[in-house]
Amino acid sequence: MDLFHNLAIGLSTAISLANLLYCLIGVFVGTLIGVLPGLGPTATIAMLLPLTFALQPVSALIMLAGIYYGSQYGGSTTSILVNLPGEAASVVTTLDGYQMAKQGRAGVALTASAVGSFFAGTVATFIIAFFAPILSEMALKFGPAEYFSLMVLGLVASVVLAQGSLLHAIGMVILGLLLGLVGTDVTSGTQRFNFGIPDLADGIGFVVVAMGMFGLTEITRNLEQQESRTIMAKITTLMPTKEDWKRMIAPILRGTAIGSAVGILPGSGSILGSFAAYSLEKKVSKNSAQFGKGAIEGVAAPESANNAGAQTSFIPMLTLGIPSNPVMALMIGAMIIQGIQPGPSVITEQPVLFWGIIASMWVGNLFLVILNLPLIGIWVRMIMIPYKHLYPAILAFCCIGVFSLKNTEFDIFFMALFGFLGYIFSKLECEPAPMLLAFILGPMMEEYLRRAMLLSRGNPLVFIQRPISATLLTLALLAMLAVLLPSFRKTREELKE
């Protein structure tokens, strides 16, 4: 069968010695940043991106992907042990995970999380392998109008899930699109919005924006509220009882299904999946009374879901060249830097790269189980590193990393500017994630809009006359309307609490 043949190609790439090493580095760094306070995958990948220029494209992407899904594992460790979510996606795990830890069952919670994540990761790998070729094939038929509408849908989805006011999130998207247009206009060669600064001829680097708004802004915000971390729980046994295993199976299956499905949606990634899986479990479980008091289901389900979602969120990126979250936007940037044009043709033109990344995810998940269960002791010590010792190092790496992009200190100043903007926007409760997505998509959207309008001889109705494009726009409209519904609004606000 094709699927297995393709996975075999991928696996043979992924288990070459060099790629195994980069995969291991990726998941190690991922777990590390998941465990360490105040450093998320977006800032880390932005920081490490310049270092991957020298690598083979497939190795670079394997490593960066490993950082992302690895951070999901690490994030749950801190949720369980110190009641602080390492990553946004592991917020719900604190509810029952930390309770379990308080009852002396921290090890069991960690195992439930790791086993669930591993199972979900394995299933998600197959889902990607199965759906990606189908989607790519479909996407090859897309014209400029469809691409434009798809991007609109992606941006709308990111807005729907953003925190704070919907109106402001839309504003952030438009601002992001505008900032993305700075630099040389591809079609006419005109220099736009560059204020005569030659360094802006190629536009503002997306790594600069990401490091500013996610790296520096986060540091400044964390300095406002310095937390102290104490581990309440000791890890005694990692082994769940027979009863625990029985209770875990169904939640893991359901969590995987929800997480995978939600992860594919543009704009969501892993966060929504974990919330959805937890609330579903709470509704259907026989033990729903125990939720919030240390129910193993409340750890297994969201942990499976966030890992599945983290992986399936690669699907739109790999098949359509459209990022579903800021991390995927950075992956697209990494591909472009490596000279690969992201989009549906990647699968046919770069099969080794494509299947190599997918197969490496399964290998990476295997590494992660080993890293997170037998070697848990290392991470427990890492959790205790105080933030005040970390952030000067993060800042130093950001400055050197951003300099190395084009060997110009100009980028450091721009990073600081975006750090400032990001801080202001965070005070105004305007989320930076939709802006970064729009920033990447800006120039592409303009190109597709131009081409679509050229083909239709200036008739804007083309976007609703072509069926696929019309469907995508309808979905975007429905998503937008759904936010305005009072019931959805309520859940959206509850999710963010």
Q: For residues 202-241, which are near another protein according to CB under 8 A?
A: 216, 219-220, 223-224, 226
Closer to another protein by Cβ: residue 271 or 412: 412
Count of CA atoms in the C-beta half-sphere (13 A) of 222: 22
Residue 242 binding another protein, by CB under 8 A: no
Please pick, from the candidates 15, 84, 138, 181, the single residue that binds another protein as defined by CB under 8 A: 181
Least distance between another protein and beta carbon 441 (Å): 12
Residue 464 binding another protein, by CB under 8 A: no
SS3 430: coil
At residue 458, what is the residue type?
A: G
First to last CA, the chain: 46
Q: Specify burial of residue 239 (Cβ count, 10 A radius: 0-12, 13-18, 19+).
A: exposed
Which residues on adjacent β-strands are paired with residue 327? none
Least distance between another protein and beta carbon 175 (Å): 6
Closer to another protein by Cβ: residue 196 or 339: 196
Q: What per-residue string of b and e applies to 50-79 under the rule 16 or more CB within 10 Å gives b?
A: bebeebbbbbbbbbbbbbbbbbbbbbbbbb
Least distance between another protein and beta carbon 163 (Å): 12
Q: For residues 254-313, which are near another protein according to CB under 8 A?
A: none
Contact 61, 95 (CB under 8 A): no
Dihedral sign, CA of 114, 116, 117, 123? positive
Residue 458 binding another protein, by CB under 8 A: yes
Please pick, from the candidates 454, 477, 478, 481, the single residue that binds another protein as defined by CB under 8 A: 454
Q: How far is CA 237 from CA 95, 109, 119, 489, in A?
A: 21, 10, 21, 42
Tell me the C-alpha distance between 422 and 444, whole Å. Answer: 24
Least distance between another protein and beta carbon 417 (Å): 8
**Residue 296 belongs to what H/E stretch?**
none
Q: For residues 69-108, which are near another protein according to CB under 8 A?
A: none
Q: For residues 400-419, which are near another protein according to CB under 8 A?
A: 400, 403-404, 407, 409-410, 412-413, 415-416, 419
Q: Going residue by residue from 412 to 451, which x/- string records binding to another protein, judged by CB under 8 A?
A: xx-xx--xx--xx--xxxx--------------xx--xx-
Q: Which residues bind another protein (CB under 8 A)?
A: 51, 54, 165, 167-168, 170-171, 174-175, 177-178, 181, 185, 187-188, 190, 192-193, 216, 219-220, 223-224, 226, 388-389, 391-393, 395-400, 403-404, 407, 409-410, 412-413, 415-416, 419-420, 423-424, 427-430, 445-446, 449-450, 453-454, 457-458, 460
